[in-house]
Amino acid sequence: MGDSKAALPTEQPAAANTTQTHDKGGTATFDVDDRPSTESEGEQDHLRDQAWGRETKVFIWIGMALMWTIFELDNTTVYNYQNYATSEFESISYLGTLTTAGTILSAVLKPPIAKLSDVIGRAETYAITVILYILSYILASSSHAFDQYSASYIIYCVGQTGMQILNQIIVADITNSRTRGLANGLINLPFMIIPWIAAFIVDSALVTVGWRWGIGMFALILPACASAVIVPLALFQRRMARLGAPARPSLNVRSFFSHIDIIGVVLLAGGFACVLLPLSLAGNAPSRWSTPWIPTLIAVGIIMLSALLYYEGKVAAHPVLPLRFLRNTTLVLAWVIGTTDSFAFSATHTYMYAWVVVVHDYSPRNATFLTFTAGCMQVLSGALCGLLMYRTRRYKWLLVTGVCVRLVGYGAMLRLRGSANSTAELFAVQLLQGFGSGIILTIVLVVAQIVVVRAELAQSTALMLQFIYLGNALGSAVAGAIYTGLFRDRIARHAPNLASAQVDAVYNTIAASEDVFSPEEVVAVNNAYSDVLRYMTLVALVASAIPVICVWWVKDYRLSERHNLADEVRKGDDAVVREGERGWKRWWRTGKW
């Protein structure tokens, strides 16, 4: 096999944003590239360095480290409190549906939030996300019904997705293509410690103040920490204006909605919601898949997504999904790999916490340890991957390693989802999965950021995270559909004489007392739960085979000290159409139609 690394294109004048073609007579013609020009990026980078200054950049890094720490503490604790909140409201069977709704919302809001930060400023958008966070904490801690808690969770997801995308954009803004993977890895290192601290916090909160105050305390902590990011950002923006950077355009209501592509956002959000939510809701419908509105809703979703492609290509002035991105095979493959990897993870982890609590009798603390073991290993392997990317300036063979490790990990997990498996086995497979995941997510995010110009950085980052979240949403939907559709059937198979009230108790809550079950019934319940988890793992195993195939077509560009490699991507031999070469032959050689 030859060298898989993509050769760097030959140097061409920056002003020649053209792609060479040939007509039948052999005369060279040129099509103007419609992407933003990069010829002024060097000047803008110089202005940015002046505006940041050494001290402000140090402060923003400190602020980012602090906010990632709080972000992870919030994420790890609220994730666990959610199980007890839904259980208190006797609605744990809707956990998959609620998670799906939240992840869909988180996914589709990333591009408009990214665009909003370009329009009104990073600091202003960051402040908005913090306000939404605070509101969600107050509503959640005071909720007295599942509907109220669900509303607070939706607002929480809006704030969370805004903070996540803005944190990623800010890191990308102040790093180059070579250091970005390492910076992302280092900024996430607090996650190595946070889950273990969070486990004790959750365990203590549940037996003392309860899950309500466990959530509510963040309404006081978060705004104090967020100021460490908002203030440096505001100073940077003010200095950029003083240095003569182009001012943001004044927008009326119509042009504002045009810039965030409100119609495209509605089509994207509505389309995926209509497709994914029925997958989880079908199990709770009276006739399940025979319920008329379920296939109807899916059909509506497909129509909306089809309309989205037409609208983005023909109508939208500032598309939320620029169709020219689809011509970049490496970017599209990064989307596919990120989506399928997150799908597999979500499918196997949505009900894992409930499973270890019910089947393996884990305490909240120990269940938290297991849940976040993969995440801790993911951070460690991500930082190691970033270091190797920095030293070698390459990423493809690291990505090959990551996808293969994930495939092997799901194969092992399929065997280790039983009631008789030891604690060591459960933790070992989580470590293996986390190792592969850290490599994959680090690389696909960097790839999505280096193949576009700075002007498209926020949008490309948002789309990459959007596809990752859509994979999570689909995984949660499939897990919810499997749980609601198969759990009662597996109980009936293992314990046909179990009373309906007992089945409902296990189905809807993780707090059902074992005193109401005989020893034989406990074994039957554990086996039924484990069967359901194996089905979820089997789906993940199949999905994890897709990245193993896709990775071979990912281009291996050489990382450099430049902010992005957009010039290298669109210039050179791979951009030239050879005489007589059309269709799949050109795609095979260049990755472009």
Q: Which band of pLDDT confidence, cut at 50, 70 and 90, is reported for residue 570?
A: low
- For residue 29, is it within any domain? no
Mean pLDDT score, 319-339? 87
Kindly report the CA angle at 468 between 465 and 470, in degrees rounded to 5?
Answer: 110
Residue 517's pLDDT is 67
pLDDT class of 23 with cuts at 50, 70, 90: very low
The burial of 208, by beta-carbon neighbours within 10 Å (0-12 exposed, 13-18 middle, 19 or more buried), is given as: exposed
Same domain assignment for residues 509 and 418: yes
In a domain, 576, yes or no: no
**Same-domain check for residues 155 and 299:** no
- State mean pLDDT over 304-323: 86
pLDDT over threshold 70, residue 3 = no
Are 168 and 311 in a shared domain? no
Residue 285 lies in a domain: yes
Final residue before a domain boundary, out of 319, 351, 369: 319
197 located within any domain: yes
My answer on whether 410 and 281 are in the same domain is: no
Q: Does residue 23 lie in a domain region?
A: no
Are residues 147 and 270 both part of a single domain? Answer: no
Provide the pLDDT confidence category of residue 546 given band limits of 50, 70 and 90: very high
Q: Which amino acid is residue 56, in one-letter code? A: T
Same domain as 94, residue 225 = yes
Structural domain containing residue 447: 44-244+320-554
Q: How far is CA 216 from CA 81, 85, 360, in A?
A: 11, 13, 30
Same domain membership, residue 478 and residue 393? yes
Q: Is the pLDDT of residue 39 over 70?
A: no
Collapse the DSSP code of 394 into the 3-class scheme (helix H, G, I; strand E, B; otherwise coil) and give the result: coil
Is 588 a member of any domain? no
Q: Which residue has the tokens 């497709």?
A: 275
What is the rounded average pLDDT of the residues 304-328? Answer: 86
| DSSP state letters, 332-352 | HHHHHHHHHHHHHHHHHHTTH
Element (H, E) at 529: helix 519-550
Res 462: pLDDT: 87
Higher pLDDT, 454 or 411: 411
pLDDT of residue 52: 81
Phi-psi region of 572 (alpha: psi -120 to 50; beta: other; left: phi over 0): left
Decide if 537 is inside a domain: yes
Number of domains in the chain: 2
Give the least confident one: 36-50, 75-89, 400-414, 534-548. Answer: 36-50
Q: Are residues 283 and 399 in the same domain?
A: no
> Cα–Cα distance between 57 and 60 in angstroms, integer?
5
**For the residues of 112-131, what is the DSSP string, one character each?**
HHHHHHHHH-HHHHHHHHHH
Task: Say how far apart CA 450 and CA 36 lie, in whole Å.
Answer: 14
Per-residue pLDDT tens over the stretch 244-273: 766 666 777 888 888 878 898 889 878 877
**Same domain, yes or no: 294 and 332:** no
pLDDT band at 527 (very low <50, low <70, confident <90, very high): confident
Position 11 in a domain? no
The encoded tokens of residue 402 equal 């990551």
pLDDT over 50 at 50, yes or no? yes
Q: Which residue has the tokens 């592969």?
A: 436
Contacts 24+ apart (CB under 8 A), 565-569: 565/177, 565/450, 565/451, 566/35, 566/38, 566/450, 566/451, 566/452, 566/453, 567/14, 567/38, 568/8, 568/9, 569/328, 569/330, 569/451
CB 322 within 8 A of CB 452: no
Share the mean pLDDT of the chain. Answer: 80
Q: Are residues 349 and 310 in the same domain?
A: no
Q: pTM value?
A: 0.78
Q: Could you tell me the pLDDT band of residue 459, with boundaries at 50, 70 and 90?
A: confident
For residues 158 and 218, membership in a common domain is answered with yes
Indicate if 421 and 286 belong to the same structural domain: no
End-to-end C-alpha distance for the chain, whole angstroms:
24
For residue range 189-198, what is the model confidence (pLDDT) as tens digits? 887 888 778 7
